[in-house]
């Protein structure tokens, strides 16, 4: 497993430096580019005729006259390349992290079971950006690639409209996906133009969804701490659980979760593991989990175990996903809370919408016990700021 983790990590870092091609997206690559950064958006054919959808295909149809398409993506769809860490099953020979037992014991003190997040999650807006005005956004926390002259305005516009709502808390996450170009725009603490004379946000990122979905963990340049919308530097779309995936019967990627006490070194230096490229952890000690850690539900558990827990069809889909791909620690937040797509502009409406689509799902997932997880060893952590 160690060889597997090291080779994946080395490959990701080599691609950060050398992999400048894109399969379907034409980009001008800028200084300090990492896989997933986009500096220019080109037009793309707006008709899809495939009947059998792959992991990166959108619904068949004609989209040349569409701007905002909606909030749904196919159940088989997943972001980023097939060999990305997000989309790589955990090998059968994967080793257990040496701190696993004490980390799991500590997490169990704060949550006996996993759960689904009720707030601080993100909506997903699906668009054909060719048919929308590209609006520049004001921010003092734009990642360096998209504010080259450091004037506090995005160099690239965003296909955003006044009808798009963001996550309603102070975090204000907003994720916009163009499935035709296979890119995403992600904003945090978004405030629309109606609240000001122009849209505002804090972190601002664009990701090429054909690449690996990783920020450069060795980048030490300007505004390093603004890469990615999560505290770990994860893309907002990465690991997000969507209702269409559950309806399709299988989730094809790792999930992500939050925990309120994540590790920092006693010196104050950040510590994290890829796919994280930074950390906002603030708790020193070996029993605290590290952002980027991979948790796996015991792979030896089977259908009889799931039945004894009382898992529904959708609960079992989540359990199998947590066995096959696991879940990465993405941010400070609620204890052991899986991140799901926000389906409505308020927490109450969001929960009601999930309940309409998948009755009892929120409660059912809470039957999966935390003490049946382990922490997978994925390599040695990266330390910055010492």
Ranking 52-61, 147-156, 217-226 by mean pLDDT, the lowest is 217-226
Higher pLDDT, 223 or 355: 355
Which pLDDT score, from 0 to 100, does residue 8 have?
A: 42
Per DSSP, the three-state class of 290 is coil
- Predicted confidence at residue 84, as pLDDT, reads 97
Rounded to an integer, the average pLDDT of 162-188 is 94
Measured distance CA(208)–CA(18) in Å, rounded: 15
Average pLDDT for 97-110: 98
Tens of pLDDT, residue by residue over 295-308, are: 999 999 999 999 99
- What average pLDDT score do residues 43-50 get? 59
H or E element at residue 206:
strand 203-208
Query: Does residue 57 lie within any of the structural domains?
Result: no
The predicted pLDDT at position 18 comes to 32
Indicate the DSSP class of residue 166.
-
Q: What is the mean pLDDT of residues 214-233?
A: 79
d(CA 308, CA 296): 19
Domain ranges, residue 304:
90-118+237-384
The strand pairing partners of 241, in sequence order, are 340
> Which one is predicted more confidently, 99 or 152?
99
Q: Does any domain span residue 336?
A: yes
Helix, coil or strand: residue 349:
helix
- Residue among 302, 268, 266, 287 nearest 375 (CA): 287
Query: Of the given ranges (101-110, 139-148, 208-217), which has the lowest mean pLDDT?
Result: 139-148
Residue 60: partners with Cβ closer than 8 Å, 6 or more residues away:
48, 49, 50, 51, 53
- From edge to edge, which strands make up the β-sheet containing 255-259? 115-116, 337-338, 255-259, 327-332, 294-297, 373-376
Q: Using 50, 70 and 90 to split pLDDT, how confident is the model at 202?
A: confident
pTM for the whole structure: 0.86
Judge whether 222 lies within some domain.
Answer: no
pLDDT, mean over the chain: 87
Is there a domain that residue 174 lies in? no
- pLDDT at 66 exceeding the cut of 70: yes
Q: Is the pLDDT of residue 373 over 90?
A: yes
Within-domain flag for 10? no
157 pLDDT more than 80: yes
Average pLDDT over residues 234-256: 97
For residue 111, being part of any structural domain is answered with yes
**Percentage above 90 pLDDT, the chain:** 69
User: Is 344 among the domain residues?
Assistant: yes
For residue 181, give the nearest of 46, 76, 51 by alpha carbon: 46
More confident residue, 44 or 162: 162
Token representation of residue 106: 């500590």
Q: Closest by alpha carbon to 227, among 208, 203, 256?
A: 203
Angstrom distance (rounded) from CA 166 to CA 175: 8
Backbone angles phi, psi at 251, to 5 degrees: -105, 130
User: What's the total number of domains in the chain?
Assistant: 1
What is the arithmetic mean of pLDDT over 22-29? Answer: 31
In a domain? residue 4: no
Lowest mean pLDDT among 46-50, 81-85, 193-197, 375-379: 46-50
List the strands of the sheet with 141-142, edge to edge: 68-70, 124-127, 174-178, 183-187, 203-208, 141-142
pLDDT of 224 above 70: no
């Amino acid at each position: 497993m160690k060889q597997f983790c090291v080779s994946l990590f080395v490959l990701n870092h080599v691609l950060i430096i050398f992999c400048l091609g894109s399969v379907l997206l034409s980009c001008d690559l800028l200084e300090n580019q990492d896989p997933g950064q986009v500096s220019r958006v080109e037009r793309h054919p707006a008709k899809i005729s495939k009947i059998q959808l792959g992991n990166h295909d959108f619904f068949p149809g004609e989209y040349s006259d569409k701007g905002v398409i909606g909030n749904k993506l196919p159940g088989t769809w997943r972001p980023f390349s097939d060999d990305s860490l997000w989309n790589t099953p955990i090998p059968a020979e994967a080793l257990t992290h040496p701190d696993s037992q004490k980390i799991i014991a500590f997490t169990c003190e704060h949550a006996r079971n996993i759960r689904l997040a009720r707030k601080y999650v993100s909506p997903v807006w699906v668009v054909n950006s060719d048919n929308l005005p590209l609006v520049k956004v004001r921010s003092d926390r734009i990642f360096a690639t998209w504010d080259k002259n450091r004037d506090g305005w995005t160099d690239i516009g965003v296909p955003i409209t006044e009808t798009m709502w963001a996550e309603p808390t102070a975090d204000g996450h907003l994720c916009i996906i163009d499935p035709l170009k296979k890119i995403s725009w992600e904003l945090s603490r978004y405030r629309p133009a109606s609240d000001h004379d122009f849209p505002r946000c804090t972190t601002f990122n664009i990701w090429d969804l054909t690449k690996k979905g990783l920020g450069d963990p060795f980048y030490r340049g300007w505004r390093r701490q603004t890469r990615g919308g999560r505290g770990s530097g994860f893309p907002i779309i990465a690991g997000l659980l969507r209702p269409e995936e559950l309806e399709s019967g299988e989730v094809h990627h790792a999930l992500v979760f939050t925990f309120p006490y994540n590790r920092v070194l006693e010196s104050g230096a950040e510590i994290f593991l890829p796919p994280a490229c930074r950390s906002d952890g603030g708790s020193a000690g070996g029993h605290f989990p590290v952002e980027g850690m991979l948790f796996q539900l015991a792979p030896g558990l089977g259908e009889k175990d799931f039945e004894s827990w009382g898992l529904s069809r959708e609960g079992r889909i989540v359990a199998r996903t947590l066995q096959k791909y696991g879940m990465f620690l993405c941010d400070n937040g609620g204890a052991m809370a899986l991140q799901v797509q926000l389906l409505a502009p308020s927490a109450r409406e969001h929960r009601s919408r999930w309940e309409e689509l998948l009755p009892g799902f929120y409660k059912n997932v809470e039957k999966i016990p935390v003490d049946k997880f382990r922490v997978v060893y994925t390599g040695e952590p990266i330390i910055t700021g010492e």
